Amino acid sequence: MPKAVVKRAYRYRFHPTEGQAVELSRTFGCIRLVYNRALDIRTNAWRREQRRVGYTDTSALLTAWKQTDELGFLKEVSSVPLQQILRHQQKAFTRFFDEQANYPRFKSRKRSRASAEYTRSGFRWRDGRLTLAKMDQPLAIVWSRPLPDGAQPSTVTVSRDPAGRWHVSILVETTIDHLAPTTAEVGVDAGLTSLMTLSTGEKITNPRHEHRGRVALARAQRNLARKAKDSNNRAKARVKVARVHARIADRRRDLLHKLTTRLVRENQTIVIEDLAVRNMVRNHNLARAINDAAWSEFRSMLTYKAAWYGRTVIAVDRWYPSSKTCSHCRHLLDTLPLGVRQWTCPGCGEVHDRDVNAARNILAAGRAVTACGDGIRPNRHQSVGHLSEPPFQGGRNRNCPLRSGRESPVLDDREGRQAELPPESGCAASATSFCGRLPFFGPVG
């Protein structure tokens, strides 16, 4: 059975002593100060001198800060988390310059996540007991599950959430056996009424965790609003609000873990839509429900679990008209309002459940992507509601006409001219078999 060697994080609750809590809180404060000072220097250097400051420069500045009277207290905490936060800042700027993220923001004591990362030189692991630098006692960890036999932590991250709970994440290298291969495939359509609809016809009910916890959340927020600003009672009330949010998040995460694990165990290939959730939440009428559904977290979990266990996840183009295409005869409707949950195909008379039909089309599109390349999307230059053979746009492989983008294997995107696959094409046969199951091209298996 094939195996995968992966780095896996195991997260546990722990209960610090009073001295450990004070030491970690000081470390969090120093991390925040170093990060904000370094970010301010980077920003001003660019604004005033058009000069970039890198990790090497900020690391040298940190050493200099420790020698000053003003910031000499930085020597009293472990140097490892301070260096790590500067490395993370460098990565944040790299992502910004690569246009993968926004400009890094300053950290806030009240709003930012309180965490400290220790590499191998910043902790001691002996006989299953973890002791951090600057501490004389090991952490009292609640071992809710064992670490793999013989595991040696490479990185330890300690964090405190707004609800006041302490967690430690232990990163280890471990070997995971791939699951036995299976022929099962499934298409998944994400929604709000049903959290997920599968191409098998099964619908996963949306538990609406945030909606169910809304009464308790509103009560806690009203109690917070009545407290005087900057008072101890307000701080206690803020923790109560955070605990309600934490319970909601824990329930949501638990459901997603169970759902993604089940899908990975039962199916060799899972096909989903490449949804732009960040754009979708701009709809203020649906933003709350979309955030509660946590589609992005679902995709993230599904992706890394599939990689661990030897499964495949395929994401089809978000513009692919999965809902308004008949999965039986391939007729494409011009419009299908969101309020219509069931419709009858005018081409063949088949009655479709909107979500089940979409899931089946997503699965068929995923099969075509496997054979023909990335990019399944409709023709945007003209209506294709009455075309028997709408276009297929290719992706990245230059040697395959189905992927090249230079010519469409079925219909030219602009002129509407019929195009044919060259008979010598290496993927012509597989394209014929798979595209026959793709919506627009023929019935699903």
Domain presence at residue 71 = yes
DSSP 102: P
Does residue 355 carry a catalytic annotation? yes
Domain presence at residue 225 = yes
| Domain identity same for 19 and 156 | yes
Phi, psi dihedrals of residue 271, rounded to the nearest 5°? -110, 130
Does position 412 have pLDDT exceeding 80, yes or no? Answer: no
| Domain identity same for 65 and 197 | no
d(CA 301, CA 309): 12
The predicted structure's pLDDT at residue 225: 95
Q: What residue type is 122 in one-letter code?
A: G
The predicted structure's pLDDT at residue 373: 59
d(CA 139, CA 154): 17
Under the banding of pLDDT at 50, 70 and 90, the label for residue 425 is very low
Residue ranges making up the domain that contains 81: 3-177
Q: Is the dihedral of CA 409, 412, 413, 416 positive or negative?
A: negative
| Domain identity same for 28 and 147 | yes
Mean pLDDT value of segment 19-31: 96
| Domain identity same for 74 and 155 | yes
Domain presence at residue 24 = yes
The predicted structure's pLDDT at residue 434: 40
Q: What's the token pair of residue 386?
A: 């009455």
* Mean pLDDT, rounded, of the chain: 83
The predicted structure's pLDDT at residue 266: 95
| Domain identity same for 173 and 189 | no
Higher pLDDT, 167 or 280: 167
Does position 346 have pLDDT exceeding 70, yes or no? Answer: yes
Under the banding of pLDDT at 50, 70 and 90, the label for residue 94 is very high
| Domain identity same for 87 and 166 | yes
Domain presence at residue 50 = yes
Mean pLDDT value of segment 26-31: 97
The predicted structure's pLDDT at residue 428: 37
Higher pLDDT, 389 or 174: 174
The predicted structure's pLDDT at residue 384: 34
Domain presence at residue 412 = no
Closest by Cα among 132, 148, 150 to 140: 132
pLDDT digits (tens, 9 = 90+) for 157-183: 999 999 999 999 999 999 999 999 999
The predicted structure's pLDDT at residue 44: 95
Q: Which residues contact 311 (CB under 8 A, 6 or more apart)?
A: 179, 264, 267, 268, 269, 270, 305
DSSP 181: P
Q: What's the token pair of residue 440?
A: 């627009």
- Domain total of the chain: 2
Domain boundary among 314, 334, 367: 314
The predicted structure's pLDDT at residue 350: 86
pLDDT digits (tens, 9 = 90+) for 97-146: 999 999 999 999 888 889 999 999 999 999 999 999 999 999 999 999 99
Domain boundary among 177, 205, 226: 177
> What is the per-residue burial (b if ≥16 Cβ within 10 Å, else e) of 64-103?
ebeeeeebeebeebbbbbbbbbbeebbebbeeeeeeeeee
| Domain identity same for 128 and 14 | yes
Domain presence at residue 422 = no
| Domain identity same for 101 and 198 | no
The predicted structure's pLDDT at residue 340: 87
| Domain identity same for 254 and 150 | no
| Domain identity same for 27 and 164 | yes
Does position 388 have pLDDT exceeding 60, yes or no? Answer: no
Higher pLDDT, 204 or 426: 204
Domain boundary among 126, 149, 177: 177
| Domain identity same for 156 and 224 | no
The predicted structure's pLDDT at residue 418: 34
The predicted structure's pLDDT at residue 9: 95
Which of 210, 273, 292, 413 is the catalytic position?
Answer: 273
CA dihedral 248, 249, 252, 257 (to 10 degrees): -150
pLDDT digits (tens, 9 = 90+) for 220-238: 999 999 999 989 999 999 9
76-85, 195-204, 277-286: least confidently modelled range: 277-286
Does position 270 have pLDDT exceeding 90, yes or no? Answer: yes
Does position 259 have pLDDT exceeding 90, yes or no? Answer: yes
Which of 185, 189, 210, 413 is the catalytic position?
Answer: 189
Domain presence at residue 370 = no
The predicted structure's pLDDT at residue 374: 54
Domain presence at residue 120 = yes
| Domain identity same for 189 and 170 | no
Q: Which residues contact 234 (CB under 8 A, 6 or more apart)?
A: 224, 227, 228
